[in-house]
Amino acid sequence: MPEPYYEPDAAVPVAGAGAGADLAPDEGPPEKGPGGGLRGTGPAGPDLSAVSGGRARSLWSDAWHDLRRNPVFVVSGIVIVFLVVISVWPSLIASGNPLHCDLARAQQGSQPGHPFGFDGQGCDVYTRTVYGARTSVTVGVCATLGVALLGSVLGGLAGFFGGAWDALLSRITDVFFGIPVVLGGLVFLSVITSTTVWPVIGFIVLLGWPQIARIARGSVITAKHHDYVQAARALGASNARMLLRHVTPNAVAPVIVVATIALGTYISLEATLSYLGVGLKPPTVSWGIDLSAASPYVRNAPHMLLWPAGALAVTVLAFIMLGDAVRDALDPKLR
C-alpha cells in the first residue's frame, strides 16, 4: 500500500492524550523522504533509504575483496608467483648448469656473470640458488597438498560422525603429536637411500596430517550444528549430501589458512633435514644441501651461506605472510 503523506507542520496525536495534544516531547516533526513520503525514525516509519539494492557477497568473494586491498597479500603473492615461475622455468633467469663446477674458482667471490660467487666445489652459487627453489617449492606444495587432503578427510569424517571413530582418531593424533619431527626424520629417512624428493614428502605427510585433522574436526563439529545443516537433515538429506554440500564449504576456511602457513614450515623442515644429511642428497640441488656444504667456510667465504639462507628465509616468510593475510580475510571476527 502507498505510504500515507503527512504535512510537515501537522500535529500528530499521541495515544492516550487529549484531542488538543501536540507531538511527543522527544520527537520532532516527521521528515519527508526523497519521494515525498514520510521518513520516520521509529517503528512507525522505517528508514527505507538505508536499504541497499546491491547483491550480498559470499564469504569467498568478500575475502577476495579484502585480500586485493591488503598490501601484505599483494607483496607475498608477488614473491610466491615469482618463486613458482622460476621453479618451473629456472632457465629464464639462470642460464648455467647447477652441477657444472670448476675447482679453480672454488670459494671465489662475485665476478662478472657470476653475481653470487662460487662455492667450495667451484659451482656457481647463483645458479644453484635459483635451481634450489624448484626443489623447495615442490616439496612444500606436494607435502601441503598431501597433508591437507589426508588430514581433512580423516578429521572431517571423525567430526561429522563422532562416536568411536572420533575417539580413535583423537588417540592416534595424540600419539603422532608426541613424536619429535626432527628426531623422527633422523630415524625414518636415515634408512632410505633414494635421492628423490618423494621420501621427504612422504615423511612430512606422515607426521603433518594430525594437525590438519584436528583443525578440520573442530571446524566440522562447529558447522554441523548450524541451523541450515539441521534443516537439511530434517528435509531428509543424506549424510553425503550434508557433508559435501553444506558442511564442507563452511568448514574448509580454517584448513586453508593452516595449510598455507604450514607450507612455509614444510619448506624449512626440508632444508633442516637436508642440512643434517638425512633429507635430500646430492646430486639433488637444494638450499639445505648448500647450507650444509657452506657452513665450514662461513668465515672465509660467507657468500656461500648468505645467498641460499636468504632465499630460504624470503620464501618461508612469503608463505607465512600469505597465510596471515588469508586468515585475516576469512575470519569474520577480525574484520
Q: Are residues 21 and 80 in the same domain?
A: no
Q: Are residues 136 and 284 in the same domain?
A: yes
Q: Are residues 119 and 22 in the same domain?
A: no
Q: What percent of the chain has pLDDT over 70?
A: 81
Question: Which CATH number does the domain housing residue 170 bear?
Answer: 1.10.3720.10
Residue 329, all three cell numbers: 580475510
Q: Are strands 31-32 and 38-39 parallel, antiparallel or unpaired?
A: antiparallel
Q: What is the domain count for the chain?
A: 2
Q: Are residues 40 and 68 in the same domain?
A: no
The predicted model scores a pTM of 0.77
Tell me: pLDDT of 334 over 80.
Answer: no
Tell me: pLDDT of 15 over 50.
Answer: no
The residue among 36 and 209 whose pLDDT is bigger is 209
Give the integer Cα–Cα distance in Å for 90 and 310: 18
Q: Are residues 230 and 290 in the same domain?
A: yes
| Residue 90 covered by a domain | yes
| Rounded average pLDDT over 300-314 | 93
| Rounded average pLDDT over 196-208 | 92
| Residue 84 covered by a domain | yes
Q: Are residues 36 and 131 in the same domain?
A: no
pLDDT tens-digit series, residues 235-294? 888 888 888 888 888 888 889 989 998 999 999 999 999 999 888 888 889 999 999 999
Dihedral over Cα of 54, 59, 60, 65: its sign: positive
Give me the helices (H) in the chain, please.
59-67, 71-88, 125-161, 163-177, 181-189, 198-224, 227-234, 239-241, 248-251, 253-275, 287-294, 303-330
| Residue 146 covered by a domain | yes
Residue 220, all three cell numbers: 566440522
**Which residues constitute the domain of residue 5?**
1-45
| Residue 50 covered by a domain | no
Q: Are residues 320 and 240 in the same domain?
A: yes
CA 53 to chain centre: 33
pLDDT at 335: 56
Among 5-14, 100-109, 201-210, 320-329, the range scoring the smallest mean pLDDT is 5-14
Q: What percent of the chain has pLDDT over 90?
A: 41
pLDDT at 17: 43
Q: Are residues 171 and 265 in the same domain?
A: yes
pLDDT at 232: 84
Among 50-64, 97-111, 129-143, 217-231, the range scoring the smallest mean pLDDT is 50-64
pLDDT tens-digit series, residues 173-187? 989 988 888 888 888
Tell me: pLDDT of 54 over 70.
Answer: no
Confidence of residue 225 (pLDDT cuts 50, 70, 90): confident
Confidence of residue 210 (pLDDT cuts 50, 70, 90): very high
Q: Do 237 and 307 meet the contact criterion of CB atoms below 8 Å apart?
A: no
Q: Are residues 183 and 281 in the same domain?
A: yes
Confidence of residue 57 (pLDDT cuts 50, 70, 90): low
Q: Are residues 12 and 110 in the same domain?
A: no
